[in-house]
Amino acid sequence: NINVDGKNVIITGGNGCGKTRFLKLIYEQISAQIEQNEYKTHEKIKQEITNRQSWMKHTSPTDRNYFSWKQQIADFEKQLIKMENINVELVDLDRYCIDFNERKSLLRYFGAVRENNISHSGTIDSLKTLRDEEISVSLSQDTSNKFERYLVSLYNYGSHLIAREKNKTKGDKVDTWFCFLQKQFQYLFEDDS
């Protein structure tokens, strides 16, 4: 058991050692608890298996539900095997679910992408367009590409304010935000460099 106690965890290791698979399993566990509302504890899954086994004992193999229950048992057994590998417990699941639904917290999975995928059409996305797009996006959808586009657009907007509109005050506001973001990343990764 690893109790992170509210601290950040950084996963390191060589290529192919399973970092991405490990993070994906954590994401799937949390996602099942939060967004999909289908999280079951080890005990609940065992009870589901027992229920179906009991139903099957009292039902003819020709019954239309028999095969379905048999398949469900196999699926539940796979879930148990997965759970033995990793089990994530959130301190206050109800609070997190409420915050998630109110868009005060989020759940994002960023795959192991080794290159950026910003599609360059020769134009800069407006900040309003990017914000409007974000409103309709699921809180668990991969938005790494949109985040990159937002950073590029905001940086260009700040440069435009200084160079073309001669508005150093607003330009400095954008620079201040980027400094804040950098400090947040330093805090997240516990790295002052």
User: For 16-25, how does the pLDDT look when each residue is reduced to its tens digit (9 = 90+)?
Assistant: 888 888 888 8
Contacts of 173 (CB under 8 A, 6+ apart): 158
Report pLDDT for 157: 82
Q: Does pLDDT of 118 surpass 70?
A: no
Distance between CA atoms of 155 and 130, rounded to whole angstroms? 14
pTM over 0.85: no
Between residues 126 and 57, the one the model is more confident about: 57
Work out whether the CA dihedral 117, 122, 127, 130 comes out positive or negative: negative
Between residues 108 and 39, the one the model is more confident about: 108
Between residues 189 and 98, the one the model is more confident about: 98
Average pLDDT of span 78-107: 79
Alpha carbon separation from 153 to 82, 131, 157 (Å, rounded)? 41, 11, 6
Report pLDDT for 134: 67
Report pLDDT for 43: 77
Q: Are 45 and 80 in contact (CB under 8 A)?
A: yes
Alpha carbon separation from 9 to 5, 12, 25, 94, 184 (Å, rounded)? 10, 10, 15, 23, 15
Q: Does pLDDT of 119 surpass 60?
A: no
Percent of the chain surpassing pLDDT 70: 79
Percent of the chain surpassing pLDDT 90: 18
Helices 93-101, 19-34: crossing angle, 10 deg rounding: 80
Q: Does pLDDT of 142 surpass 90?
A: no
Report pLDDT for 115: 52
Sequence ranges of the domains in the chain? 19-94, 116-188
Q: Which helix (H) or strand (E) holds 158?
A: helix 144-163
